[in-house]
Amino acid sequence: MKLKIYSLIAASTITLALSSCKKDFLDQTPITQVGPDVAFADAAAAEKLIQGAYDGMYNDYHIWDYMTNGDVRSDNAYAGGDNPANIQLDLFTVNSTNGNVTRDWNSLYSDIKNCNLILTNVPNIQDAKLDAGDRRKQILAEASILRAYMYFNLVRTWGSVPLVVKVPTNDSEFYPSKASVDAIYAQIITDLEYGAANARSSAPNKGIMTKGVANALLAKVYASKATPDWAKVSTYCDAVINGGYSLISNYDFLWDSNHKNNSEAIWEMQYDGYGGLHGNWMPSVLVGTGWKRFNTPSNDLAKAFDNEGDAVRKASSIKFNNVVSEGWSDSYWSKTSYPYINKYRADDKSDNYILRLADIMLLKAEALNELSAGGWSSAATIINTIRGRVKLGITSATDQASMRLAIEKERRLELAFEGQRWFDLLRTNRAMAVMNAQTDGAGANLNYNVTAGKLYFPIPQDELDKNPNVR
């Protein structure tokens, strides 16, 4: 059997297996992905290919797991619920048979497959319509940005993985070996640079890959490499900051479902209602009654909001309910005041901000602080702008070292439950120190015992069984 990277051409999403739930909230309309039936003949086919790549993203990884991987693995949330795969992520006991690990690998490589079909075939389509207004280049740019994003998630989650950048044509290409982390980052940067040069500056909605998305991802990529290039981070942050985006005035407007595709959004998933082609079921698993919900905010995060006096972002991020009547127990919280994530509120109407301006502004502050010992002062100006929106006073940081911690804290409070925290800890080499110091509400150490070997996911067992070259 050929490697699963290119056997995932089925026209349905992978379903999330959550054991013992009392509500079947995962009944979804199958999402049509690009399949082998597409005729690579004309401009209409090219449009079908790029639309298929976008449609294929509305799977469990992009709806749900991006946040679980970024927040449950960090100090922001506990697994909650009763799903063994999520609990393994929370407790750093993940192994190669973990269902989340397999699902995420499959989802990301399925998305890459869709992009590769575009990048391999669209250059060869003979149709003058594709070259009118640079549409061919735009389609290739969008596919390049999407592929770069998938590989960015793969390399940050697994480290070394296979690097597949074309449609395989022979058996040896169906069984690729793992590429080095450096080679993967080089390909990501190549794809994003092409995207930044050829994508549209604006599009009908924020779900489409634009120059702004490419520049924002380039900033994050250069900050995430083993040796960050802070000059490039700064340059690409500037391209975004000066690219027509602006902070939305009220922080809570980001989450109230009434301000979609707003001025702060750089890239935002586009949902069209429960039961639609792009339905979002995530709010159903975060808040509700009848069974214990998932991704419970941590005591440490709630304390961090309180210690900062950050009432605005806390209220937008965490909702406390009395759940004494619920028939389940919890090891971390009292049921008289039990926390739920509040950033995804309206069932099937929530917006997932994959990228927004505040993230890039804080990354710019980080770059300024790292580029020179005196850069903390310029960084403080940005930090204070972010803090001012949520009615907080100016930062207390007064040097480079204290500003590093101030930026780390600000990113945590600003971006909680947006899938960012774990990757921030990972790229700053703070993951082990922070996680091994975690305590419960009573001050008892949670004994995560995080080691270097636990920082990345293992290759899924079924992939190891099919392809010996990834071992």
CATH number of the domain within which 283 lies: 1.25.40.390
Closest by CA to 414, choosing from 346, 276, 314, is: 314
pLDDT at 181: 98
66 within some domain:
yes
Strand pairing class (338-341; 318-321): antiparallel
- Provide the number of structural domains found in the chain: 1
Closest by CA to 317, choosing from 425, 390, 217, is: 390
- 8 A C-beta contact, residue 192 and residue 148: yes
20 within some domain:
no
50 within some domain:
yes
pLDDT at 271: 84
- 8 A C-beta contact, residue 59 and residue 13: yes
Of 11-25, 87-101, 165-179, 279-293, the range with the lowest mean pLDDT is 11-25
Q: Which domain holds residue 49?
A: 4-11+33-470
pLDDT at 221: 98
146 within some domain:
yes
Alpha-carbon distance values, 451 to 169, 353, 379, 430 (Å)? 40, 31, 32, 12
Is the confidence at residue 238, as pLDDT, over 50?
yes
Q: Please tell me what DSSP assigns to residue 399.
A: S
Amino acid at 268: E
19 within some domain:
no
Triad 216, 281, 206: Cα angle to 5°: 30
pLDDT at 429: 98
pLDDT band at 281 (very low <50, low <70, confident <90, very high): confident
250 within some domain:
yes
pLDDT at 348: 54
Triad 230, 234, 237: Cα angle to 5°: 135
Strand partners, 356: 265
339 within some domain:
yes
Strand partners, 338: 321
Closest by CA to 339, choosing from 306, 385, 387, 378, is: 306
pLDDT at 11: 31
27 within some domain:
no
Q: What percent of the chain has pLDDT over 70?
A: 90
* Alpha helices per DSSP H over 199-250: 211-224, 230-241
Q: Is the dihedral of CA 415, 418, 421, 426 positive or negative?
A: negative
Is residue 296 classed as helix, strand or coil in its secondary structure?
Answer: strand
Q: Please tell me what DSSP assigns to residue 261.
A: T
